[in-house]
């Protein structure tokens, strides 16, 4: 069954969805918990009540997402839990962008990742490539550079296509979020993306807000079952916002706490 484009939780009114979920939970949990006396849910009861919520929490506690990470045990069925129940093919996914500029942006970013760009010396916000990214937004060495990397990728891609760069020229992640609409871009808020992962497409820019004016950003390369594959600068395998290179990472869509910026068609 395909993901309905919103989180399913206690009180859900769509009896068809509740029935399908109860049937699937029964299939999985009855096999695992028969010895422990698991009481199957009644598919003919259209209510998503406390017993069903507890069954969802039990499923979440015993399963992982497509990247092998534990599910959030909140008793609600978002895109990632839905994918764990029904398979990632049941949740909208996408690879590659139909927009020529965004496709070129991703190609440019991927080439930098494949080159193994790293800060030199480590933890310095310096190095030949890093300083090139920073210079493109008018900054010298030593500044955080995740947003400068994204801008450089857009700028290089636009130059290759002989067109103007639509992205706001800034090294500030939150300044980009605030100013992108003025450049003609569309913003997708976190709650919209979590409710309907199909809104998130390759080539979009994600924005994270850590408070106090600190943020982090990168590019969405692929979407798969509530997870996003990204290309990011100024990070590393720990997914920090102060890492030392350009990396491909996997993040939960729900962890992008600000939202996404879409320059498709701009």
Q: Taking the CB of residue 203, how many other CB atoms lie within 10 A of it?
A: 24
Calpha distance 174→194 (Å, rounded): 20
Q: Give me the pLDDT at residue 227, please.
A: 87
Taking 70 as the threshold, does the pLDDT of residue 247 lie above it?
yes
Closest CA to 220 of 65, 88, 113, 95: 95
Mean pLDDT to the nearest integer, 103-128:
96
Enclosing domain of residue 241: 94-262
Taking 70 as the threshold, does the pLDDT of residue 250 lie above it?
yes
Q: Buried b vs exposed e over 128-164: b needs ≥16 C-beta within 10 Å?
A: ebbbebbebbebeeebbbbbbbbbbbbbbbbeeeeee
**With bands split at pLDDT 50, 70 and 90, how would you rate the model's confidence at 230?**
very high
- Of 55, 90, 125, the last residue of a domain is 90
Q: Give me the pLDDT at residue 126, please.
A: 97
CA within 13 Å, CB half, 108: 23
Q: How many domains does the chain have?
A: 2
Calpha distance 216→230 (Å, rounded): 12
Within-domain flag for 37? yes
Q: Give me the pLDDT at residue 32, please.
A: 64
Q: Give me the pLDDT at residue 145, please.
A: 98
Among 27-36, 109-118, 159-168, the least confident range: 27-36
**With bands split at pLDDT 50, 70 and 90, how would you rate the model's confidence at 182?**
very high
Q: Give me the pLDDT at residue 260, please.
A: 98
More confident residue, 154 or 7: 154
CATH assignment of the domain containing 183: 3.90.1720
- Of 90, 119, 136, the last residue of a domain is 90
Instruction: Please list, in sequence order, all residues whose beta carbon lies within 8 angstroms of the beta carbon of residue 191, skipping any fewer than 6 positions away.
Output: none
Within-domain flag for 67? yes
Among 68-82, 100-114, 249-263, the least confident range: 68-82
Calpha distance 230→248 (Å, rounded): 5
Cα-based angle 141, 146, 150 (whole degrees, multiple of 5): 110
- 157 plus 51 within the same structural domain: no
Q: Give me the pLDDT at residue 6, please.
A: 84
- 78 plus 100 within the same structural domain: no
**With bands split at pLDDT 50, 70 and 90, how would you rate the model's confidence at 226?**
confident
DSSP letter for each residue of 134-170:
HHHTT--TTS--HHHHHHHHHHHHHHHTTS---S---
Q: Give me the pLDDT at residue 31, please.
A: 67
Q: Encode pLDDT of 14-62 as tens digits.
A: 999 999 999 999 988 876 665 456 788 999 999 999 999 999 999 999 8
Within-domain flag for 132? yes
Mean pLDDT to the nearest integer, 178-195:
95
Whole-structure pTM value: 0.79
- 123 plus 38 within the same structural domain: no
- Interhelix angle 146-160/100-114, nearest 10 degrees: 120
Q: What is the mean pLDDT of the chain?
A: 92
What is the share, in percent, of the chain residues with pLDDT greater than 70? 97
């Amino acid at each position: 069954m395909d993901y309905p484009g919103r989180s399913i939780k206690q009180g859900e009114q769509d009896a068809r969805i509740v029935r399908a979920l109860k049937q699937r939970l029964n299939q999985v949990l009855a096999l695992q918990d028969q010895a422990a006396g698991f009481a199957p849910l009644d598919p003919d009861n259209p209510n998503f009540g406390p017993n069903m919520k507890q069954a969802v929490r039990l499923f979440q506690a015993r399963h992982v997402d497509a990247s092998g990470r534990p599910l959030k045990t909140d008793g609600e069925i978002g895109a990632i839990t839905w994918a764990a129940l029904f398979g990632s093919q049941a949740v909208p996914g996408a690879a590659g962008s139909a927009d020529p500029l965004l496709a070129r942006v991703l190609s440019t970013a991927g080439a930098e990742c494949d080159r193994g760009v790293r800060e030199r010396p480590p933890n310095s916000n310096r190095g030949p490539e890093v300083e090139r990214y920073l210079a493109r937004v008018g900054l010298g060495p030593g500044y955080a550079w995740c947003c400068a990397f994204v801008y450089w990728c857009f700028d290089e891609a636009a130059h290759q296509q002989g067109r103007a760069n639509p992205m706001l020229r800034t090294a500030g992640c939150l300044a980009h979020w605030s100013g992108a609409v003025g450049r003609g871009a569309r913003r997708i808020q976190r709650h919209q993306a979590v409710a309907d992962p199909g809104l998130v497409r390759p080539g979009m820019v994600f924005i994270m807000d850590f408070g106090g004016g600190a943020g982090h950003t990168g590019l969405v390369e692929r979407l798969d079952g509530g997870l996003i594959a990204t290309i990011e600068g100024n990070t590393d395998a720990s997914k920090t916002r102060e890492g030392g290179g350009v990396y491909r990472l996997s993040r939960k869509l729900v962890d992008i706490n600000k939202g996404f910026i879409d320059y498709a068609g701009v």
